[in-house]
Structure 1
Amino acid sequence: MTPIQHWNSTRRLRLFVQTVRDMLVSMGPLLLLGGGLLVAAYWWLDPQPPREVRLATGPAGSAYAAFGEGYAKALARDRIQVKLIPSEGAQDDLAHLRAGTADVGFVRGGMADQVADTEAGIVSLGSLFYEPIWVFYRRDLPLARRQPGGALERLTQLRGLRVNVDQDGSGVPQIVEKLLTLNQLSATDLRLSNLPPDAAGQALKQGKLDAAVLISAPQSELIRSLLRDPAIALMPFEQNEAYSRHLPFLSTVTLPRGVVDLAADLPAHDIPLLATTTSLLSRDRTHPALRQLFAQAAQSQHSAAGWFNGVRDFPNTRTSELPVSPEGDRAINGTPPAWARYLPFWAGNLLERMWLVIGGLLVLMLPLSRVVPPLYTFRVRSRVFRWYARLREVEAKLEAGEGEREALLDELDELDRVTHRIAVPLSYAEELYALRNNIYAVRKRLLAQRPPVPPAMDAPGD
């Protein structure tokens, strides 16, 4: 590269850097205003959720506990840690939500107080699955042998038997009490106990209980174990339609023939049952992004066909007792935004929470952006025009006859050297060349002046 090429390359680079700096400085006020508004909106909207969320599940080995593990794995993909809070069951989960010790929880139908819990800010993210009311009993009951076919068919036949109705926190005792009341029975008519599900299952198999009432999804290992035990039978709810009319939170379902084991034809016939519908409830103070993640995870966790439902029957918003949050409704009934399929969670969430603010800023910035070109023009021209003040000083000294001629020429030469180092875009070169012409004109006037004649010296002897 020749010296001239190197000089031109360096000059072009310096001009580019100078132009970029001028643009940034010109846009500075606009950028500061927009940045300040974005920071304020970010602080106000708080778009990014906390990295930990508390989920109230259920007893170890229950379907709730298994589902909780599934949700924890699903949210871990978005770097959200789900802290699982074991509980005695649905009633205990609801108590955690009311107390604020859990952010999300599984609660079955019939547990929530629609008025009080709505006012307390508890919302639904959608109904997830059926939880049938399973009444298991021992086949060797003398009472059962005296019935047609040797089976129990009505709750009134449990009178005087040893019946377990789960722990108080599960919510099962409350539902059983309502069922007994409809049959004109009281708790004193049965020998009730409140063992946890696993202990009740073992006691039933060992003959220490005559019957056990469980409310659980069929995914529970205990339910599947009892269904396969030849010494244990399942009581059908032949009057399930009547029960559902009296207790609207109950649904009528059927355990299809052979669904437990097709090869063994288990069960050997359809069994009518009653079921509650379990929902995923959340506090309205839980970050909206977390509610959205849970609602989306519910789609993959509960949309498959099951023993009592078809594909995509769940999650749904039809059977929710509490108001459904916008996040749950959008995840279940709406269409996810296009960016959600391509952006990572944090970026998609930020865009979803901030799009209105960003749009408003664009609308505000468009008219304000008109001040940028004048500011840029002023900044570029100021690099040229500020040297006119120094040129006027030289010209004023010239007109007033002040200052040494050589000193003024040196000052003009210095000013000329400075202007040759000024870099401006080609569109503003006219102002730069005009400054150089004016410097040349002042130098020309200065050179045109006659130098002062030194005073003559007197001859010796004069």
Structure 2
Amino acid sequence: MTPIQPREATRSLRPLLQTLRDLVVSMGPLLLLGGGLLVAAYWWLDPQPPRQVKLATGPAGSAYASFGERYAKALARERIQVQLIATEGALDDLAHLRTGTADVGFVRGGMADAVADTEAGIVSLGSLFYEPVWVFYRRDLAIARRQPGGTLQHLTQLRGLRVNVDQDGSGVPQIVEKLLALNQLRPTDLQLSNLAPDAAGEALRQGRLDAAVLISAPQAGLIRTLLRDPAMALMAFEQNEAYSRHLPFLSTVSLPRGVVDLAADLPPQDVPLLATTTALLAREQTHPALRQLFAQAALGLHGGAGWFNGARDFPNTRTSELPVSAEGDRAINGTPPAWARYLPFWAGNLLERMWLVVGGLLVLMLPLSRVVPPLYTFRVRSRVFRWYARLREVESRLEAGTDEREALLDELDELDRVTHRIAVPLSYAEELYALRNNIFAVRKRLMGQRARAGGPADRQGTGRRAACQANDGQNI
């Protein structure tokens, strides 16, 4: 078997490469149009989120701060940096959202203004967990006051005591004021202070406070410390159902017996409590993909059972005071798309936000693609037909007799050599062979006129040239 020489291999690939080039050039206008529209849609939709987002959390050591760190780790896996903004609490978080200094924040129920905040473009990504109203007091206080059973059970029993109600930015003072008003108490009826939670816990243990009101998830370290402190007692809200009817943002919950410490049977009985529901709020200007990431992270961080809820009770959209964003509703209540299980976040997000645009472009491009075959045909045939102009010029000069026949013959020979280097697909070979035959016909006619006009020697040379050109014609 004879090996294929490099030159022959190159010659055999040349028509294929030429065909591919013609296809690319013919489709060029369509590809440029489609690419331009796709780039414009990408710029308009901005499908890829920024790499940094600001999350407003509570003070150091709070449950909000702990959850903020867990959200930061969850989003870091998608290469999103979460900047944690330490605040005084939920009300301060809401203030950051309103001013735009934070993109996302933890806000408990009763803080938001449903009308004003909705108009300001603040939306919910779902409710995350319960935050009970904890009223801790010193046990010796109840004994000294000779309360029934040695416990405090009503807010009215706090009259005249030194009570801390957390910092103003936490939102706790506003909720406590509403609770006192239901009991016909004024803030001046108590000795109120606004220490930070950790400072209040220390002051309570040292006897500089009689009671402290905290609103926090049980994950907070201070809450668990006070629950285990034998010198501290937790006030039960025996009238929690009545409170929840007056203040709809409050829910009735119960601290189960033994949930703090089963071995020590702590607490020794169920404790009825009131609780707010904390939601994850975001600004509408926050990129939709970031809102989706936070909502998806919430499923993993808050979906388990807790002291006050069963598994999959949170996150939910039932208790949200503000409208729930489409991303939060889809993540919590919807079914994730199939590609989300197999593609990385950036690819799945790009596909989710661009598929409609890509589909629209395909619908638009299909009718326009009909111009590609005519363009391809024109390009291939033009490589052949453009030489007819030169052949016609030679023929016109031949008929006019203004040029020497030898010069015309050389020009025809050059034209024949050029056409032998033209590569066209087999389906267009007929036009190429027709051109070569026409060149041969004009050359034959020219040589015939030369033979009639020349002498014997000239006729001999003409005969050799004619024989050579005839062989070329047969090769074509």
**TM-score where L is the length of structure 2:** 0.93
After TM superposition, the structure 1 stretch with the greater mean CA deviation from structure 2, 398-407 or 176-185, is 398-407
Is the counterpart of residue 232 in structure 1 residue 235 in structure 2? no
How far did residue 144 of structure 1 move? 6.0
Cα deviation digits, residues 223-282 of structure 1 (max 9, x gap): 001101010111111000000000000000011111111111111111100000000000
Is the counterpart of residue 444 in structure 1 residue 444 in structure 2? yes
Contact 2:142 2:152 in 1 (8 A): no
Q: Equivalences for 1:174-193 in 2 at 5 Å?
A: 174-193=174-193
After TM superposition, the structure 1 stretch with the greater mean CA deviation from structure 2, 176-185 or 140-149, is 140-149
Mapped partners of 1:329, 1:99: distance in 2: 25
Contact 2:128 2:298 in 1 (8 A): yes
How far did residue 353 of structure 1 move? 1.3
Mapped partners of 2:402, 2:143: distance in 1: 131
Which residue identity does 2:233 align to in structure 1?
A: A
How far did residue 42 of structure 1 move? 1.3
Partner of residue 114, structure 2: 114
Q: Equivalences for 1:378-397 in 2 at 5 Å?
A: 378-397=378-397
- CA RMSD after TM alignment: 1.4
How far did residue 12 of structure 1 move? 2.6
Mapped partners of 1:169, 1:35: distance in 2: 51
How far did residue 358 of structure 1 move? 0.9
Which residue identity does 1:17 align to in structure 2?
A: L
Cα deviation digits, residues 399-423 of structure 1 (max 9, x gap): 2223111111111111111111111
Contact 1:165 1:172 in 2 (8 A): yes
Contact 2:142 2:151 in 1 (8 A): no
Partner of residue 325, structure 1: 325
Partner of residue 285, structure 2: 285
Contact 1:163 1:211 in 2 (8 A): yes
Partner of residue 210, structure 2: 210
Identity percentage of aligned residues: 85
Is the counterpart of residue 412 in structure 1 residue 412 in structure 2? yes
Q: Equivalences for 1:267-282 in 2 at 5 Å?
A: 267-282=267-282
| Partner-residue secondary structure (3-state), 1:140 | helix
Cα deviation digits, residues 62-118 of structure 1 (max 9, x gap): 000000001111111111111000000000000000011000000000000001000
Partner of residue 49, structure 2: 49
After TM superposition, the structure 1 stretch with the greater mean CA deviation from structure 2, 7-16 or 335-344, is 7-16
Q: Equivalences for 1:419-458 in 2 at 5 Å?
A: 419-451=419-451, 452-453=453-454
Larger fraction in helix = 2
| Partner-residue secondary structure (3-state), 2:87 | coil
Mapped partners of 2:218, 2:402: distance in 1: 106
Contact 2:405 2:450 in 1 (8 A): no
Partner of residue 127, structure 1: 127
Contact 1:65 1:86 in 2 (8 A): yes
Mapped partners of 1:233, 1:142: distance in 2: 9
Which residue identity does 2:92 align to in structure 1?
A: D
| Partner-residue secondary structure (3-state), 1:105 | strand
Mapped partners of 2:335, 2:77: distance in 1: 21
How far did residue 450 of structure 1 move? 3.4
Name stretches of at least 5 consecutive residues in structure 1 with no aligned partner.
455-462
Mapped partners of 2:314, 2:138: distance in 1: 33
| Partner-residue secondary structure (3-state), 1:236 | coil
Mapped partners of 2:295, 2:86: distance in 1: 21
How far did residue 376 of structure 1 move? 0.6
Partner of residue 201, structure 1: 201
How far did residue 439 of structure 1 move? 1.1
Mapped partners of 2:144, 2:315: distance in 1: 38
Cα deviation digits, residues 10-45 of structure 1 (max 9, x gap): 123222221121111101111111111111111111
Q: Equivalences for 1:291-306 in 2 at 5 Å?
A: 291-306=291-306
Mapped partners of 1:402, 1:10: distance in 2: 42
Partner of residue 161, structure 1: 161
Which residue identity does 1:81 align to in structure 2?
A: Q
Name stretches of at least 5 consecutive residues in structure 2 with no aligned partner.
456-476
Contact 1:58 1:87 in 2 (8 A): yes
Mapped partners of 1:15, 1:450: distance in 2: 38
Is the counterpart of residue 39 in structure 1 residue 47 in structure 2? no
Mapped partners of 2:375, 2:117: distance in 1: 58
Contact 1:128 1:279 in 2 (8 A): yes
| Partner-residue secondary structure (3-state), 2:175 | helix
When the two structures are aligned, how many residues end up with a matched partner? 454
| Partner-residue secondary structure (3-state), 2:359 | helix
Mapped partners of 1:163, 1:294: distance in 2: 36
After TM superposition, the structure 1 stretch with the greater mean CA deviation from structure 2, 317-326 or 5-14, is 5-14
Mapped partners of 1:221, 1:182: distance in 2: 30
